């Protein structure tokens, strides 16, 4: 099918597609058009990675906008949202405005009503529904990317409930669901009342197999010799072999530590395949990566990037990940060693995918558990890029014949597992039942069950008894904690319940926060950090070897700071959870006491991405705590607000005013303060030479900061930096790195050395 044959598109779009190199649609794409994708028909496309699913989504959205509607594109990850927004902006010449929304869960973001296409995470769309965003009623098309993730116990229920609510708001909504190839795509299509396009077709041939001994054996029985020299690792041999044909490699391992160690080893392999120009490019890239963060992780990543390799995991900052992904797509970086998160939709195709580790640790399982077939197939799908690779190869590693046979049976020849709803899990139900009542989708128990009947879970359940039992248990919990009122069959969200729903909190988190705040007379920052760290919405730091003793001692030293009863040491699980929350809270306290990022990373064994994640989550939860304290008219509102600001800026109390000026940040605020510029007002009056000296002579930075502070004339023309101010600031920074907070605010750093 040619682009000119596609009905319902805005004028000029078919010609644009041809000019972009799309002279003929791929077979799965053509089938979606034949089934009405550009004429408002709902559809599930279950096709392999790199088979043109994004264009299917674009065809649906462009035709929807052409009919006068608004399109919504739902993604599972923030990083993927940014990537898709950039892709869709290629339609700007056709007067298509694209918006993106991924944060601020307490907003209806009415400005999005002016956009033709909105890209958002499923959590953000859920929050928009809860906050009554009126523009959602104008939607004519919603695209759910990676819809097979309804199977994910954490993210799945939100996507499932959100799609059900959007279809309830707009009954004739066109739903386009994009999925990996799964065993029961027909069940997803039945749930969404959609046509199904299911295909195994790929534009680039993908060969899957297992490496054992000195060769890869592929699924069709053919072999490719990849000998492993004495003392060499199979992974290195496979990467070297791909590079001999100018192909990149993506290596999947089961932990961050393994990703970093493997990247260091592979860097010696990739370095031998670099041109002089590539070495120069990588040297520049390595400097950018090192500048992102002061941590050892940042330095380690820069070191391997210089040689053409990289590692990728959740401990990296967003900037780290973005730089690595871009360079890998450009083939400047030749090999990435990654944890499985990189397989979840981000566009990082390679010539060869190597699944080195097919087991990972699972606490509930009690040991190393084999990966799901669908997850491994998602990794496989990263291999082969149209227009760049003549083929793709996905390879598992075996150490013996028995393992080789098992890998063929479990992954190479196996179909992926069927998608199963995880909605009936109680943590998901707590959040979504309260939101369903608070946003008016159901006002009775029977109304709730009727709404849930529109979910995937209901279409898959053999009977309704389990669902009804979970609903009753959750309603009892919401009632007992003051989030809903029950009058017979009637259900009404209380004011507190409405607030909790709009804040996008797990009701159990809200209950923990409310109980803690009610018990607080004059809460300390550590007490508040610990309070939010023990909620289900915060992923706590694990206790490592020796941590229990360290944090037990700290627990008793700081016992008066806690908001709530400290569990007995004999309550093993509860006490361990309390200490894990304390470790997390201590990280936040160190951050808010201006301890350097590299010291924090070293002390807690985390990466810059972990620090940023904990800080962002704490800022959100403390903001929610401030709202709840205000709602309940508690006396601790100011203390909570200050603790939130200190986490947000990463500073001590005296720097809050300065750090609030856009562009300053925690280190610049300290330098300015030690140079005598202690407030926003001081910035408007201080000698420019002093400001410039404290900012290390960076004129453009100084001008921008003065402008943001409201200074009438921020220009630094003919201004020389005050050397004394610069010296004072540098001395202050050195002092900040080693000095401890007051005894009642922070334990001695020696306790954690």
Model confidence over 669-720: pLDDT tens digits?
A: 999 999 999 999 999 999 999 999 999 898 999 999 999 999 999 999 999 9
- pLDDT per residue as tens digits for the range 383-397: 998 888 899 999 999
Q: Are 200 and 208 in contact (CB under 8 A)?
A: no
pTM above 0.75, yes or no: yes
Torsion of CA 287, 289, 290, 294, to 10 degrees: 150
Q: Are 537 and 506 in contact (CB under 8 A)?
A: yes
Which percentage of the chain shows pLDDT scores above 70?
A: 95
- For 592, the token pair is 């808010």
Question: Which pLDDT band, with edges at 50, 70 and 90, does 536 fall under?
Answer: very high
How far, in whole angstroms, is CA 252 from its chain's centroid? 19
Q: What is the spatial distance between Cα 236 and Cα 526, in angstroms, rounded to a whole number? A: 47
Taking residues 559-576, report their average pLDDT.
Answer: 92
Taking residues 563-575, report their average pLDDT.
Answer: 91
Comparison of pLDDT for 746 and 375, the residue scoring more: 375
Q: Which domains does the chain have, with CATH numbers?
A: 3-198 (3.40.50.300), 206-412 (3.40.50.300), 426-503 (1.10.10.10), 507-650 (1.10.3380.30), 655-736 (no CATH)
Long-range contacts of 695-699 (CB under 8 A, 24+ apart): 695/668, 695/671, 696/671, 696/721, 696/726, 696/729, 697/721, 697/726
DSSP state of 383: B
The pLDDT mean for the chain works out to 92
Q: Are 530 and 540 in contact (CB under 8 A)?
A: no
Question: Which pLDDT band, with edges at 50, 70 and 90, does 728 fall under?
Answer: low
Question: For the chain, how are helix, strand and coil distributed in percent, rounded to 5?
Answer: 55, 10, 35
Whether the per-residue pLDDT at 740 is higher than 70: the answer is no
Question: Which pLDDT band, with edges at 50, 70 and 90, does 108 fall under?
Answer: low
Bridge partners, 118 (sequence order)? 72, 99
Taking residues 471-481, report their average pLDDT.
Answer: 95
Whether the per-residue pLDDT at 652 is higher than 70: the answer is yes
Q: What is the spatial distance between Cα 139 and Cα 145, in angstroms, rounded to a whole number? A: 17
> What letters, b where the CB count within 10 A reaches 16 and e where it falls short, cover 51-77?
bbbbbbbbbbbbbbbbeebbbbbbbbb
Q: What is the spatial distance between Cα 494 and Cα 82, in angstroms, rounded to a whole number? A: 36
Where would I find the H helices in 650-722?
Answer: 656-659, 665-674, 680-685, 688-694, 699-708
How far, in whole angstroms, is CA 287 from its chain's centroid? 25
> What letters, b where the CB count within 10 A reaches 16 and e where it falls short, cover 689-698?
bbbbbbbebe
Taking residues 42-71, report their average pLDDT.
Answer: 95
Q: Which backbone phi and psi does 251 adopt, to 5 degrees?
A: -110, 125
Taking residues 79-106, report their average pLDDT.
Answer: 89
Q: Are 106 and 114 in contact (CB under 8 A)?
A: no
């Amino acid at each position: 099918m040619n682009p000119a044959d596609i009905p319902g598109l805005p004028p000029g779009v078919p010609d644009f597609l041809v000019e972009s190199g799309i002279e003929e649609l791929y077979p799965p794409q053509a089938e979606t058009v034949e089934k009405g994708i550009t004429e408002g028909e709902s559809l599930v496309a279950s096709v392999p990675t790199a088979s043109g699913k994004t264009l299917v989504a674009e065809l649906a959205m462009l035709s929807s906008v052409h009919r006068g509607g608004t399109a919504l594109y739902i993604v599972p990850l923030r990083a993927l949202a940014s990537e898709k927004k950039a892709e869709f902006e290629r339609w700007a010449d056709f007067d298509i405005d694209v918006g993106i929304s991924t944060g601020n869960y307490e907003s209806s973001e009415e400005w999005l009503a002016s956009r033709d296409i909105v890209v958002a995470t499923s959590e953000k769309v859920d929050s928009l529904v809860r906050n009554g965003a009126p523009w959602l009623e104008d939607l004519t098309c919603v695209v759910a990317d990676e819809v097979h993730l309804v199977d994910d116990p954490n993210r799945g229920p939100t996507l499932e409930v959100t799609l059900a609510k959007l279809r309830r708001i707009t009954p004739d909504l066109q739903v386009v669901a994009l999925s990996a190839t799964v065993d029961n795509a027909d069940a997803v299509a039945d749930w969404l009342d959609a046509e199904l396009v299911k295909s195994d077709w790929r534009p680039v041939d993908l060969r899957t197999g297992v490496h054992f001994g000195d060769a890869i054996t592929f699924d069709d029985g053919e072999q490719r010799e990849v000998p492993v020299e004495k003392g060499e690792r199979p992974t290195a041999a496979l990467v070297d072999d791909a590079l001999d044909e100018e192909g990149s490699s993506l290596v999947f391992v089961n932990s961050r530590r393994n990703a970093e160690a493997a990247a260091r080893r592979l860097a010696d392999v990739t370095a031998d395949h670099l041109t002089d120009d590539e070495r120069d490019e990588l040297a520049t890239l390595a400097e950018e990566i090192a500048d992102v963060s002061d941590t050892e992780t940042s330095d380690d990543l820069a070191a391997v990037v210089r040689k053409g390799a990289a590692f990728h995991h959740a401990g990296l900052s967003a900037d780290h990940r973005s730089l690595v992904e871009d360079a890998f797509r450009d083939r400047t970086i030749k090999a990435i060693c990654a944890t499985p998160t990189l397989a979840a939709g981000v566009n990082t195709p390679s010539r060869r995918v190597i699944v080195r580790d097919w087991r990972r640790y699972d606490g509930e399982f009690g040991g190393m558990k084999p990966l799901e077939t669908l997850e491994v197939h998602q990794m496989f799908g990263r291999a082969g890029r149209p227009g760049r690779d003549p083929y793709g190869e996905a390879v598992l590693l075996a150490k013996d014949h028995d393992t080789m046979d098992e890998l063929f049976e479990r992954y190479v020849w196996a179909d992926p597992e069927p998608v199963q709803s995880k909605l009936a899990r109680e943590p998901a139900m707590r959040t979504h039942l309260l939101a369903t009542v608070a946003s008016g989708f159901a006002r009775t128990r029977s109304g709730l069950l009727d709404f849930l009947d529109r979910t995937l879970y209901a279409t898959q359940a053999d009977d309704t008894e389990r669902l009804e039992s979970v609903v009753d248990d959750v309603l009892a919990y919401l009632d007992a904690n003051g989030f809903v009122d029950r009058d017979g069959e009637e259900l009404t969200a209380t004011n507190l319940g409405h607030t909790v729903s709009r804040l996008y909190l797990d009701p159990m988190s809200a209950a923990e926060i409310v109980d803690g705040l009610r018990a607080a007379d004059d809460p300390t920052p550590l007490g508040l950090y610990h309070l939010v760290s023990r909620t289900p919405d915060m992923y706590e730091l694990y206790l490592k070897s020796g941590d229990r003793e360290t944090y037990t001692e700290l627990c008793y030293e700081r016992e008066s700071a806690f908001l709530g009863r400290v569990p007995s040491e004999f309550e093993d699980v509860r006490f361990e959870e309390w200490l894990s929350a304390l470790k997390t809270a201590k990280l936040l306290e160190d951050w808010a006491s201006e301890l350097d990022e590299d010291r924090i990373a070293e002390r807690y064994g985390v990466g810059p991405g972990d620090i940023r994640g904990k800080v962002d989550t704490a800022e959100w939860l403390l903001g929610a705590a401030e709202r709840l304290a205000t709602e309940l008219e508690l006396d601790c509102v100011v203390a909570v607000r200050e603790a939130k600001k200190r986490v947000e800026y990463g500073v001590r109390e005296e720097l809050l005013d300065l750090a609030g000026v856009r562009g300053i940040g925690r280190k610049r605020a300290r330098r300015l303060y030690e140079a005598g510029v202690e407030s926003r007002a001081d910035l408007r009056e201080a000698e420019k030479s002093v400001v410039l000296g404290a900012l290390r002579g960076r004129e453009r930075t100084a001008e921008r900061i003065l402008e943001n502070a409201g200074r009438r004339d921020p220009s630094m023309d003919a201004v020389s930096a005050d050397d004394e101010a610069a010296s004072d600031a540098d001395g202050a920074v050195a002092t900040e790195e080693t000095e401890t907070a007051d005894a009642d605010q922070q334990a001695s750093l020696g306790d954690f050395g």
